[in-house]
Amino acid sequence: MRILFLCRRFYPDIGGVEKHVWEISLRLAKSGHKVMIVTQSQNLQREVVLKNITIVRIPKNVQTKFQLWKWFWQNRYIIEDADIIHCHDVFYWYLPFRFIYPRKHVFTTFHGYESYPIKKKAIIVRKLSELLSFGNICVGDFIKKWYYTKPTVVSYGAVDSSQFKTKTQKKKIFKESALFFGRLDVQTGIQTYNKAFEILKKKYPKFRLLVVGDGKYRRFLANKIQVKGFQKNPEQYFENYRFAFVSRYLSILEAFAAKRLVFAVYDNPVKEDYLRMTPFAKYMIIAKTPAELARKVQFFITHPDLEKKLVEQAYTWVKKQSWSGMVNIYLRLWKST
């Protein structure tokens, strides 16, 4: 099969959507499918082949929707050669071609949410994307509630649990410590984690927090705690850190696979549903305020037996969430039409 993925950002950019598309593409290409990715990421040359995946980068001067559609028209061979077109949150890139090529099978994966409060325009765009797609994958059941999307499939991503089997079990773990990794912005909850850390430091002066990531809050945080930039494999730092301060699906699954207790935070109703409307909500600790988070961390510092129980339950669940299983979800979706 010739598969065309459309996504705003892609490898070597780092993020949940980027990793999702990369992992799926690697396995599809390895299985003999021809995979092409069209993206706006600007880190590499215009067209490159990595591990049998063709990556085409839209030029920097293409900014508006009409410029984007013009570029696709000028390069319509990309669409014409594909058996399957799959959009990752960017169905509008393909919108006019849905009518030019009405028999082309196009699908959409909806990842996360834009901002809170959710704007009517965002709901309309997603609803239109759903109606014009042959099927869709919603990453999170909350999307159905907040965007009124009718999902073909609901998923929460995947993880390669085998990579954590030996790495996180042999090193000395700091008893009072946590690892955060992800973008340093509002949606990842880094401000809440930082304030909770300040509270915990008063109770446990030796408490350590390592932040692995980058974003607009990096300079502010770097004056207070240890901050590393984006790392290719941030999960390696679980070797020494006891708890996981993460609130995005992919990071949560990776923390489960590393056998670390997850503390996830929210600051609005959408993010609360994002966390609580999951099959794994019962395996992690969810909090709203820094004070609440600090109290819960203190509780588990002194209750390692309960920590271990939750960690083992989470690990049993996450072992079944493999990337090969995620690939099969895509293949079944494409073959169902």
Nearest Cα neighbor of 7 from 137, 130, 120, 111 is 111
Tokens of 15: 């993020």
3-state helix, strand, coil in the chain (%, to 5): 45, 20, 35
Question: Strand pairing partners for 138?
Answer: 110, 154
Question: Tens of pLDDT along 90-132?
Answer: 999 999 999 999 999 999 999 999 889 999 999 999 999 999 9
Radius of gyration, CA atoms only, the chain: 21
Q: What is the largest CA-CA distance in the chain?
A: 64
Q: Per-residue pLDDT for 173 more than 90?
A: no
- In this prediction, residue 90 carries a pLDDT of 97
Q: Per-residue pLDDT for 28 more than 80?
A: yes
Tokens of 24: 């799926």
User: How far is CA 143 from its chain centroid?
Assistant: 14
- In this prediction, residue 44 carries a pLDDT of 62
Task: Please answer whether residues 287 and 296 qualify as being in contact, where contact means their C-beta atoms are separated by less than 8 angstroms.
Answer: yes
Can you tell me the distance from the alpha carbon of 197 to that of 225, in angstroms, rounded to the nearest whole number?
A: 9
Question: Tens of pLDDT along 133-144?
Answer: 999 999 999 999
Mean pLDDT of 24-29: 98
Mean pLDDT of 226-231: 74
Give me the sheet containing 226-228, strands edge to edge: 226-228, 208-212, 174-181, 241-245, 261-265, 285-287
Task: Please answer whether residues 35 and 1 qualify as being in contact, where contact means their C-beta atoms are separated by less than 8 angstroms.
Answer: no
By residue count, the chain amounts to 337
Q: Per-residue pLDDT for 43 more than 70?
A: no
Nearest Cα neighbor of 318 from 269, 257, 261, 242 is 257
Nearest Cα neighbor of 33 from 328, 336, 238 is 328
- In this prediction, residue 205 carries a pLDDT of 95
Question: Tens of pLDDT along 62-82?
Answer: 989 999 999 999 999 999 999
- In this prediction, residue 46 carries a pLDDT of 84
Q: Rounded to the nearest 10 degrees, what angle do helices 290-301 and 304-318 cross at?
A: 100
Tokens of 130: 């759903």
Nearest Cα neighbor of 136 from 121, 145, 126, 146 is 126
Tokens of 1: 């099969």
User: DSSP state, 9?
Assistant: S
Can you tell me the distance from the alpha carbon of 2 to that of 33, in angstroms, rounded to the nearest whole number?
A: 6
